[in-house]
Structure 1
């Protein structure tokens, strides 16, 4: 089955999990699409089996708190930022709930964390105005970029370059092999007056970059020239939440949460809004991602919802 407007509109909530007592602040699918991991403000890490639609385990991180969780290239380990004690990044074995390594260095809250699609390295951006490059095998930082404002970061799909969004006004592209020479290109975008950028993502074909904000719009820019392509609006975000926007795996559609508890969907090429899916979320949906392998969507407020297309609404 291919994703098309009619298929997207047919998505319905197939399963709701209500394990969390507080807001889920980050989710991540494993690369093979079989598992989903979430973390929340009640300091819980929950792992789900996407194939069976079940919750497989819960790990608590009461001491350090947990945010920005990501699977590494192994499904048994994850990295996450901390919300208590210090601003170190932590590398966790999910198998036995032990920390394998700490990555100290940031002096303020980490607001961006992303793992390389091809190797065991990752990037972190912090309110201390630095971007740091790390290797999972070493606690020592592999490189530091000092920037003029708060940075968010993303790897391109080939893991050869990374983008840094700085101060909600410019995107700088770096070559990973020579990042110490500085960015090879900088795109200046209009300064966002009423909101801040909260996330960057490359499309899977590497041609566009999606910018999430804590305001009422999401932006799509050309990854080669920095030209603005689309502005997606119509979802509500009057609470200044870092609402996540995500691509479908074919980069055709953009999904985002909303304060109204719905999931809003746009066509990436035209900017046209396809629909707003109602999942009976009792509060703001901050996290939305499409499974990289299966025809499945996940959205989260305090509840986690798994969505599937409704076969009765699909063309025969």
Structure 2
């Protein structure tokens, strides 16, 4: 394993497990506990973008991260060395909601220009492999299955569509109420659809055309739901809410509300808090409008710390690396975070 930016944080043995964050437990593994969370510091800042970074994603191995921005740039980062590997442009179609497929060399992304087609891009030669046409309005959710080549998309056209990377034709479509949001569970066996900011429906991927096998109705929000995510262990669902400084956590099996987490500051009506789970599902990191990151303990619902990375604008992306002890946060700047004791590791 390269001993660059993150090399000292990872075990030298077999592929690391998400529940251990830093790898299989051994001498070099770091467990994610309150002390480590409180010690996270910005180790590297990239200022390549001139406009807002709208989405980021890590590949499954955690050694690569990709970002998409409103300035039409697609940037690929080397997470082990803390460097930029490549900078691509999507001037014709724009780019949003970028997601790695199961290959480190291909991604899918939404469009911001011409139409609302989802595009399948080869990073190797910067050429499009396939187009997925069908949505007639902005795509609001894009999610790859963890187990195969299927992916979900939801749109302001009030449809949820299921696709296979190997075919340009939609595998299935559902018409939903209100603004739909959707996500696969970590095992890729079921998916959840949130609709009208008050109902979550769970579908079995093998028989989704028969309707949901479970539905949860929650108190109607004043503002729209912005996104829906399963926790990495599949036990919880997290909802972020547009125009609110709050996120909600519910039980993924029974729909029982578990926690409401807020930064207690007023929010612009168009801003949505950006949030993610740690890979072990123990913590939630929420990026706020003031550029800070609020961290909660999932089990207790108590706030652990507010991290200040000196972001000059509202945070638009917060993601924790699935394999390494590393976090990324972004507005127009991209910041890489590491535990305090490791910020002096080699950072080119």
Q: Determine if the alignment matches structure 1 residue 121 to structure 2 residue 170.
A: no
Q: Determine if the alignment matches structure 1 residue 154 to structure 2 residue 170.
A: no
Change over 3 Å in CA distance of 1:120–1:237 after alignment to 2:
farther
Measured against aligned partners, the alpha-carbon deviations of 1:134-157 in whole angstroms (never above 9, x if no partner) come to: 000000000001111111111011
Q: Determine if the alignment matches structure 1 residue 166 to structure 2 residue 195.
A: yes
Contact 2:73 2:90 in 1 (8 A): yes
TM-score, with structure 1 as normaliser = 0.97
252, 259, 264: which is aligned to 1:223?
252
Counterpart position of 1:307: 337
**Structure 1 segments unaligned to the other structure (5+ residues):** none
TM-score, with structure 2 as normaliser = 0.88
* CA shift for structure 1 position 235: 5.9
Q: Determine if the alignment matches structure 1 residue 4 to structure 2 residue 52.
A: no
Counterpart position of 2:328: 298
Contact 2:282 2:298 in 1 (8 A): yes
Residue 171 of structure 2: SS of its match in structure 1?
strand
Q: Determine if the alignment matches structure 1 residue 109 to structure 2 residue 138.
A: yes
Residue 136 of structure 2: SS of its match in structure 1?
coil
* CA shift for structure 1 position 130: 0.4
| 1:114-263 correspondence runs (5 A) | 114-193=143-222, 195-214=223-242, 215-234=244-263, 236=265, 238-239=267-268, 240-263=270-293
Measured against aligned partners, the alpha-carbon deviations of 1:96-137 in whole angstroms (never above 9, x if no partner) come to: 110100000011111110000000010000001100000000
229-238 vs 107-116, which deviates more?
Answer: 229-238
74, 85, 106: which is aligned to 1:56?
85
In structure 2, C-alpha distance between the alignment counterparts of 1:27 and 1:268, rounded to whole Å? 23
Change over 3 Å in CA distance of 1:236–1:18 after alignment to 2:
farther
In structure 2, C-alpha distance between the alignment counterparts of 1:312 and 1:19, rounded to whole Å? 24
Q: Determine if the alignment matches structure 1 residue 86 to structure 2 residue 129.
A: no
Residue 177 of structure 1: SS of its match in structure 2?
helix
More strand by percentage: 1
Runs of 4+ with >6 A deviation: none
In structure 1, C-alpha distance between the alignment counterparts of 2:253 and 2:39, rounded to whole Å? 34
Q: CA RMSD in A?
A: 1.2
In structure 1, C-alpha distance between the alignment counterparts of 2:260 and 2:238, rounded to whole Å? 10
In structure 1, C-alpha distance between the alignment counterparts of 2:261 and 2:299, rounded to whole Å? 11
In structure 1, C-alpha distance between the alignment counterparts of 2:140 and 2:307, rounded to whole Å? 28
Residue 140 of structure 1: SS of its match in structure 2?
coil
Change over 3 Å in CA distance of 1:140–1:312 after alignment to 2:
closer
Contact 1:235 1:258 in 2 (8 A): no
In structure 1, C-alpha distance between the alignment counterparts of 2:163 and 2:342, rounded to whole Å? 48
Contact 2:287 2:317 in 1 (8 A): yes
Instruction: State the structure with bigger RCO (CA 8 A, min sep 6), 1 or 2.
Output: 2
What number of residue pairs does the alignment pair up? 312
In structure 2, C-alpha distance between the alignment counterparts of 1:180 and 1:236, rounded to whole Å? 42
In structure 2, C-alpha distance between the alignment counterparts of 1:251 and 1:212, rounded to whole Å? 17
